[in-house]
Structure 1
Amino acid sequence: MEWLGLHFMTGLPEGGQVILDCTHNPFLVLLAYLVACATGFATLGMTERVAHVEKPASQRLWRWVGAGCLAGGIWAMHFISMLAFQAPIDIHYHLPTTLLSLLFALTASWLAMHTLSHPQLNFWQYLRAAVWIGLGIATMHYMGMAALRSNAMAYYQPVLFVLSIVIAIGASLAALLISSHLRDGAGVFHQLLKYTASLVLGAGIVSMHFTGMAAFSLVLPAGSLEPLPSDNNHLQLGLTVAVMTLLIIGSGISAAWADKKLQHKEHDLQRVNALLSQLDQARMSLQQVAHYDPLTNLINRRGFNQIFAEKLIEKTNEGGMLAVMFLDIDHFKRINDSLGHDAGDELLKVLASHIKAAVRSHEDVVARFGGDEFCILISLYDREEARQMAQRIMLKMKEPIELSGRRMVMTTSIGISLFPEDGKTCEELLKNADLALYQSKDCGRNALHFFSSNLKTRATLELQLEEELRHALRENTGLMLYYQPIYDLRTGQVTKLEALIRWQHPVHGLLTPDRFIAIAEANGLIAELDNWVLLKACEDLGELSRHDCEELKIAVNCSPLNLAREELADEIEHALHAFGVAPHRLELEVTENALMGNITNTLVLLRQIRALGVSLSIDDFGTGYSSLAYLRRLPLNTLKIDRSFIQDIPKATQDMEIVQAIIVMAHTLHLQVVTEGVETFEQYDFLARHGCDFVQGYLLSRPVPLAELRPVLAEINQRKHMHTVNPLSLARGITALTSTDPFPGTPAPHGGASVVRPIR
């Protein structure tokens, strides 16, 4: 078999002369191996770049750069190895054929780089690619051998020839497998593996070449002259080719390293940009959380205050008006208590959308401050514009809402303050709008009110009274009890007293409970105040016992808020024991609505109090919402008819019928009846005739302090048969005893329980 003048499968000619003293220059052989190792290292580096670059154009570029480095390295190794070959004949090389061998090397190298650019290949795909690459390298080698020109003929031993091709394929397979495993990784150990793999690949490439050279034999034709020692010295050319190749390969490796660093910097920059983007998103999320309400997506108090401050600066510099509206959903707590908080949240979403729909979308700011409290900031030209918007909101809020299978209508209370007339700062305007809101609530809700200076004055006064009431309770100064007699119609004696608290204020004089009880209830002082009354009443009972009044009872009023405290029974027991008072001499008065507020818990507490021996009375009966079914279950002793049913007797026939019905009902339930506010003989006579048990009012006596009580009781008790004696004479006598009116300026018709309001 002959190809390009090379004999592969034919034997040596019988008449020829085989040249046996062919040698290789050791230095050039070592140089060729160095070039092969550098080629392997460059190939592994280019493979890594192809695998890691992200742009297709960059992959194609590095694939061609890797193919060039691999082809140039293999071809240069082959060329230097051929230059290392020394024979005793004149040898030169055919340039076109040599360059053609470079083309075969480039083709095989491109095929290798193309194969290595795939992210995942199985072993058989690697093997098929290795066969084609090995055949390409072998073709390049033997094409280069065909470029050799001399007088001798080139023959190859078939076994070594085939072995060289197998080595080429094996070296190619090893290169592909090593490259696929070393394309990922970093660190010193990874670099050591790459260096080791480069040495192995270089050895494989050199082994293929020198196996092919071992199969090579030069035979001079018969009759040729004896070979002469050759003076060919290709050392300088081999060094030149090696240096140029190593420079090219080094440049490729440097470019790959620089590109890797640049890509790492790009990745770092991308990570920094990603982190910055995440930080921006986190900042926006934090801003959303910090300035927006997550339930309704309205801005919250913090965001509202920020916008409010900016608007104030704008209006201060440019002029104009602002209105601040506080909105509170009327009776919203009942929704949470009855339908649950989830239903309440859904309702808040709907109501927030109603408010947004009622305002001007671009000019007005709507915020949710928490719970069922909303705030609106609007720019306007006159006061009436704010009123119209508030009315529009109230009308929108009344639209029916479907919630949890129910159709309901909600209302709102609104308070409004205006800039600049009601304040110049955010805090002042918000506070004033809040005061106006409370005014709307106090007027029955579902109303709107503008702030006025009177509201601020009242709020300031209430704050001052709260502070002074705390001081009075803490120092036990100024507070005192007045007592109003309760007359027993059957025995003709005063058997009970109602304890009514008064506050001798250092500036405002003697204050009745209606001036400070609401303040105590609103600021958490009512429990302490009720306990003070309880202790003082028990102390006064002990004092009365020492003056021959052992049978007198005292009725003490209990606030609805205090009635919800489990500690109340223990406090009553402590007060009784502290002053040695018999429990039956104490009566606790509770209002009708307080009993019905939480009937289950109230019933448990009342039974505990009754178990102590303390009597219980229902106060202001007829003004609340009692259920007779519940009333029958309560452990009561006494029912007190409110003065509103008495004041028009005997003129109001309907009131007379109501009172008669209440007395009959109470006696049916085995309850005693007390009627308060009795001021005329006609009222007294009517109650006596219809079976009322006790009466209380200005007809008998005004409330008096303990020091003035005994003369009043003595005068009343001397009239043991009041039903036969004109009570007006008794009233005149009592008035003479209590000529000093404890409530200057209070007209007599407003006596009884309506003037001296009990604690509630």
Structure 2
Amino acid sequence: VFPILSGSDRIVGFFEWTPENPGRLMLSRTGPALAFGFLFASILVALLLYRLWRSSSALEAGRLAAQHQANHDALTGLANRARFDEILGRTMMARRPYDQGVALLMLDLDRFKQVNDTLGHQSGDDLIRAVGQRLKALIGPHDTLARLGGDEFGIIHFSKGGLADHLALSEHIINAVGKPFEIFGNEAFVGVSIGIVVIGESDADRREITRMADIALYEAKSSGRNRAIVYEETMDELLQNRHTIEAELREALRRTDQLSVAFQPLFSRETDTVRGAEALVRWTHPRLGRVSPANFIPIAETTGLIEAIGEFVLRRACELGARHPGRTIAVNISPAQLRNPNFAERLFDL
């Protein structure tokens, strides 16, 4: 209550004011609705954040899965060629000169095609997986194992023992892979050839190191398979010679003036007379001169040219036999020719 005064300071009345708080009244009326709305909004935001988290997790899982697929072989789960090349490149960047502790091993299965053709592609896939598991059990914790494609594997091997340890690992691999594999109730047997390059001994880049390992692998397969060969610089010259002989041999098969057949007489001990002849292929090159069969026949067998050469020799032998009926004409047949299912038919066509 406030008094009202006149000009002479006499009280002429009183002013009474009862204060009201509309905000408090409005808050009391709208408070429950606001609290419910805030709670609803909080729940909605929480749901949105949860869905965003799930979407982000799914995207991250998808990214990791895609990255894994891009870097790993779908059949074996091992690193693929792209991942292997990446690790090999990093390893070579960190290598120390003349360090024999790191080596690249290139592996190729022997007789895998026969197993694949005999037991089927599913059995071939199971065999590849089983080989990968055996190899994985042999390597060290810092080593890298990859399936490079088909029946080819690669290993980056770290060792304190140098070349001796690399060779020891190769021996263990040959022994392990040489044991039988149980595939769908059948026993499958394969071997493995290995090419080895000690990385620290060369200043070559990744591609060159891989090429060297491939050359050593080729040498291992050419030397009888199921063995390990360490790369040497002289192998480059041998490989170049093989390529030269292969190219020139292809050209000789297209011509008629280089390949010929010599007939070595076969004598009968009982009658001391000639009873026939053995047909022997001969190659006279205009630049290389007389090329020994010991040099070009193995190359012809590995490149598939042996069938054309064998047919050429058989044709000449048949011609000689037709001119001398009753005589024995002997012809050397390559195992590669016998593996051709059409060999008998082509022989009778001659």
| Corresponding residue for residue 103 of structure 2 | 323
SS in 1 for 2:95: helix
Conserved? CA contact 1:399–1:409, under 8 Å: yes
Distance in 2, matches of 1:303 and 1:444, equals 31
Partners of 2:247 and 2:300 in 1: how far apart?
A: 10
Query: For 1:462, what is the secondary structure of its paired residue?
Result: helix
Q: Please list the CA deviations of residues 350-402 of structure 1 after superposition, one character each: whole Å capped at 9, or x if unmatched.
A: 432332332221x2211112333221112455322322333444465577866
Could you tell me how far apart the structure 1 residues matched to 2:63 and 2:257 are? 56
Is 2:214 the partner of 1:434?
yes
Q: Which residue of 1 aligns with 2:6?
A: none
Within the candidate set 356, 364, 371, 2:143 is matched to 364
**3-state SS of paired residue (1:424):** coil
One of 480, 503, 515 as aligned partner of 2:283 = 503
Larger Rg belongs to: 1
Could you list the per-position Cα deviations for residues 466-516 of structure 1 after superposition, in whole angstroms to 9, with x for gaps in the alignment? Answer: 010001111233111101223456776535332211011334432343321
Conservation of the 8 A alpha-carbon contact between 2:98 and 2:202:
no
For residue 315 of structure 1, give the secondary structure of its aligned residue in structure 2. coil
- CA spacing shift, 1:514–1:297, aligned 2, 3 Å: same
1:472 pairs with 252, 269, 280, which one? 252
Mapped to 2, the partners of 1:473 and 1:429 lie a distance apart of 35
- Write the letter of the residue equivalent to 1:437: L
Aligned residue for 2:257, secondary structure, equals coil
- Conserved 8 A contact 2:98-2:201: no
CA positional deviation for 1:464: 0.9
Determine the C-alpha separation between the residues in 2 that align with 1:571 and 1:428: 43
Q: Is the 8 A contact 1:367 1:375 kept in 2?
A: yes
SS at match of 1:452: coil
Alignment-mate amino acid for residue 561 of structure 1: A
Distance change >3 Å, CA 281–CA 474, structure 1 → 2? farther
Determine which structure has greater relative contact order: mean sequence separation of CA pairs < 8 Å that are 6+ residues apart, divided by chain length. 2
1:562 is aligned to: 337
Letter in 2 for 1:529: I
Q: State the match for 2:300 in structure 1.
A: 520
1:7-406 aligned within 5 A: 110=33, 274=55, 278=59, 281-315=61-95, 320-321=99-100, 322-333=102-113, 335-336=115-116, 340-361=120-141, 363-380=142-159, 382-394=162-174, 404=184
2:183, 2:342 → 1: CA distance?
38
2:154 maps to amino acid? C
Aligned equivalent of 2:266: 486
For the 8 Å contact 2:194–2:220, the answer to whether it is kept is: yes
Shift of 1:443: 5.2
- Aligned-residue sequence identity (percent) comes to 31
Taking the aligned partners of 2:27 and 2:223, their CA distance within structure 1 comes to 102
Q: CA 1:476/1:285 → structure 2, altered by over 3 Å: closer, same or farther?
A: farther
> 1:710-721 alignment to 2 at 5 Å?
none
Asked if 1:456 corresponds to 2:236, the answer is yes
Alpha-carbon distance, 1:293 to partner: 1.2
Any idea what the Cα deviations from partners look like across 1:108-151, whole Å, max 9, x if unmatched?
Answer: x949x979x99xxxxxxxxxxxxxxxxxxxxxxxxxxxxxxxxx
Q: 1:735 — aligned with what?
A: none
Q: Which runs of 5+ in 1 are unaligned?
A: 1-94, 119-255, 257-262, 576-760
AA in 2 matched with 1:419:
I
Q: CA deviation at 1:526?
A: 1.9
Q: In 2 relative to 1, CA 530–437 (structure 1 residues): closer, same or farther, beyond 3 Å?
A: same
SS at match of 1:516: helix
Establish whether residue 529 from structure 1 lines up as the match of residue 309 from structure 2.
yes
CA change 1:538–1:340 in 2 (3 A) is closer
Give 1:536 shift: 3.9
> Which residue identity does 2:95 align to in structure 1?
K
**Cα distance change on mapping 1:504 and 1:275 into 2, 3 Å:** farther
1:444 and 1:507 map into 2 onto residues whose CA distance is 30
Counterpart CA distance in 2 for 1:536 and 1:570 is 17
Letter of the aligned partner of 1:560 in structure 2? P
Pick closer, same or farther for the CA change 1:308–1:477 going to 2, 3 Å: farther
CA contact under 8 A between 1:422 and 1:451: conserved in structure 2? no
- Cα deviation per residue 1:235-286 (whole Å; 9 max; x = unaligned)? xxxxxxxxxxxxxxxxxxxxx9xxxxxx9xx89x959x958963x6555444
Distance 1:402 1:459, change over 3 A: same
Partner of 2:7: none
Q: Which runs of 4+ in 1 moved over 6 A?
A: 98-105, 398-401, 406-410, 489-492
CA distance in 2: counterparts of 1:296 and 1:439, whole angstroms: 27
2:92 and 2:167 map into 1 onto residues whose CA distance is 20
Cα distance change of structure 1 residues 100 and 387 upon mapping to structure 2, 3 Å threshold: closer
Give the TM-score taking structure 1 as reference length.
0.36
| Contact 1:368-1:374 within 8 A present in 2 as well | yes
Name the SS for the 1:360 alignment partner: coil
Distance 2:345 2:183 in 1: 43
Structure with greater strand share of residues = 2
Q: Cα distance, 1:434 vs. partner?
A: 3.1
- Does the 8 Å contact 1:292/1:298 carry over to 2? yes
- Mapped to 2, the partners of 1:430 and 1:410 lie a distance apart of 24
Q: Is the deviation greater in 368-377 or in 329-338?
A: 329-338
2:216 alignment partner AA:
A
Residues 1:473 and 1:329: Cα distance change in structure 2 (over 3 Å): closer
Alpha-carbon displacement from aligned partner over 1:392-424 (angstroms, at most 9, x marks no partner): 444655778665557888764432112244661
Aligned residues: 322
